[in-house]
Structure 1
Amino acid sequence: MSDYVLSGQSWQSGTVSWYFSGPSGYLTEIAEAFARWDSVLSLDFVQASSTAADIDLSFGYIDGAYNTLGVCNSVWSGNYYTGNTTITFDTSENWVWSPSAGSYVLSNGVTFYSVALHEIGHAVGLSHTTNPSTLMYPIASPTVLDLTSWDIYGARLIYGPETSVDDYAANTGTVGRVTVGGSATGTIETAGDNDWFRVNLTAGTTYTINLQGNASGHGTLADPYLTLYNSSGQAIASDDDSGTGYDSLLTFTPTASGSYYVGASAYSSGTGTYSVSVSGAGATVIRTDIAGVAGQCYRLYEAAFDRIPDRPGLSSNVNLMDHGLTLHQMSAAFVVSAEFVQLYGSNITNQQFVTALYQNVLARAPDANGLAGWLAALNNHIQDRADVLIGFSESIENHNTVDPTIIQGIVLDPSYLN
């Protein structure tokens, strides 16, 4: 199945106007979102001065906080939009400006910019996908913050590509963005091409900027060249081969907070694809493997300790499982941990053990049949306590309770990951 879905409608005209009547602080991000779509499609978006525009954007109540972030409604005649498209962002959401993200963000890391991109995607004729790695997936993700190749491919089937060959401008007006703790991809299409990405950095924090081409499958650009520019567009640092192989790696500590620009180019006349990433103190990693290692480890904390995991502990334990520790081994470590002993005692009986898990996961005392079954498994050595803890942590009930709280990502500390 293709990782894009077309709605069947499109704009007949090559120029589409838009107007935003919401808080002025969000206007820049909306303009950048339209510019991003404009940069990849043979479709021109122009800002209008009134709600008579083809696309009218505003804030309004939808269904309350932590639910639908935005809605796009369109009217069409035949296969073409009539110019009565509206995009509404829910006023109930608590958007907070994040200097490191360079965007308004929710507590789970989802950016307003990515939500705007998503809703504009509907406005150009894309429907929801079933692939969580695409921007048009119905659930917003803190790890998918820009258009993906599938989003672009689907929209280009409708309108065709932008006639210009350059995907990101080499100046401060670029639509390229990368967040601290995140990454972006691009292509050096021709010899001498230079792509810029805006990133917001904080004074006194040390950042590592990595530009990767052919190393470890990050692209096809054989010899990337990295340049860092200040807010005025002046080059302040550069690197050629300090990364893996011929990749570029730069460490930088700004003396002033604000916008900087990461320039991606090639040594000599090279061309190809690349990935650029920025990490720094205080950065986070968002894991979306809810059914995998990160989710399993998270649910163990809830079942064993009846609490939300602390970020350092969770990050360290996820790292151990990423490097081969099994779920059973991790569960066994939980039931003999200092925290477990402090909560339940050092000589807890099997019945006390099972009763505690019932309370943690189901918030009730065990029923007679359920208790008897678990005790039989333990007393007859059919299962050990690690098995039983997994039985509770991976139960349908625990999934139903925990998973909705982590569906948009699990935040980890990269300093504990390797």
Structure 2
Amino acid sequence: MLGLPMRALGERSWKTYKEVVRRVRGWGEAKLQRVPRRWPSALEVLEVRALMATEGYDYVLSGASWANPSRITYSIAPDGVQWISGTNGINSAFNAKFGAGVWQREIARALATWQASANINIVPVLDGAYPENMPGAQQGDSRFGDIRIGGDVLVNDTQTLAQTYYPPPMGSTAGGDVEINLGMSYSIGTQYDLYSVVLHETGHALGLAHTPNDQEVMRPVYGGEVGGLDDGDIAGIQAIYGARKLDVYQNAGYGLSAAKPIDLSPAVQTTQTSTAYGASLTAIGDVEWFSFVAPSYASGSWQVIASASNVSMLSPLVKVFDENGTLLGQASDASKWSNDAKASMGSIVAGHRYYVAVTGATRDVFSVGAYSLTVSMSKAPQVSTPVTSTPSPVVTSPTTTPVTSTPSGPIYTPVVVSADRFESNNTTSRATKLGKTVSTTIASLTLTTGDVDYYSFQAGAAGVYQVSAPGTVVQILNGRGRVVAQGSGSARTNAPRNSSLIVRIQSSDGSSVASYSLSISKSATTVRRTARQEASPALTARAAADAWALALRSATA
């Protein structure tokens, strides 16, 4: 969390058997509490800024991070649900103060700021009427975002602006959740600036702790409105997730200019709709180029769609040109984020080459993020075999009228990975059921771009279960959705007989995997595990959530 002159920001995190409280005027350690592992609000003294981004001074890592950084979701909890310290009322309070849509954009802008500086994609999703820290999956729960944002009045607390949990493992689904103190006077552009506070809080939600450097966003005390991240904040978030990377096409040298675009021609020859998945704008101002030769069956209207919905925070702008550089159509909506931009054209000429440029609709952090590009014809092909056509000379379309030129090298053709036979096993509730087993192997599996596959099985005998899927990231979850083991290519865990386990498979960077095999096998050896917080099985879901909230209120009283 952030703090201010006399106003504090803080992070919450579960730590084994003790809690530490840091106050504006100094350090103090609270007495030991028999509550779930966590820290309450942490408020630190400020120090002098260093010239270099140094870990421990310019940035401090919490040690926690999201297992799937290519898709971190967030949502705003509905009013009336039990939150960390009371009942959530953020929607009615901020709608009345700022107007609907205004404050939500400030929250989105804060998250998009972090996305623009790191190799992550953040996605807004809907939230349901569930208490904070409901039992469930620590990431990817279909009922709400990984990061949930809510607010209530912290009674008799005029020092804390907000407080946030680090990423999982934190409680059950509490990891990344934000609590805004509605008892404080928030504003936009003046003290206490909502964007500045949420930018700090979501830094905690992504894995950053407080820094002693008072020039950074992650300082513990509110220092006024900020326009974005400082060098130490950027170094910190990149230390966790890395800097944003070029997409698979750009890494091969394609899509960076109209002289060497990503070519969709082979796909549109045989199908009415062609999509390039896994595209990405890496920095503000980036433009990515696509091209195709209109197939022989093409006539009438057609569309080009740049889609960031359910993919990232990007607000896309798409422009379509003919081979002479004439603008045929464009589409965008700069007031939205994580949205689609669809340009519609009235006619197309078979055998002619067309160009598509995708960039951000805004010149700010909403201009960065992953997306897909789809070309759709109004007519379907008449034959199933590809039609060979000779493309016109490739046209370079910079900021001025495109100049005709011959492309250097082949135009890159994206490899489209199809969904496997078990789709859509993208959530724990839709996991592919493998039954009771001690050993099984499934081959010819795929991951499309951004895909996550879930499998469930019951241990046929007690022992250590090794789950392997080379070329992927493997997580093993217990029956309550808690991660118990994870690793690159494989993971293993102890399992009693008849216990239920869930396997989560994804790629390391969100890109597609053309083929992988999943194998599960049991050995007799046991594995030592570190202690983990488990919710009491005697508690109902609501009672468990209420117990967490009571423990938090008691710890900060």
Coarse TM-score class (shorter-chain normalised): 0.3 to 0.5
1 or 2, which has the higher strand percentage? 2
What's the TM-score once normalised by structure 2's chain length? 0.27
What's the TM-score once normalised by structure 1's chain length? 0.36
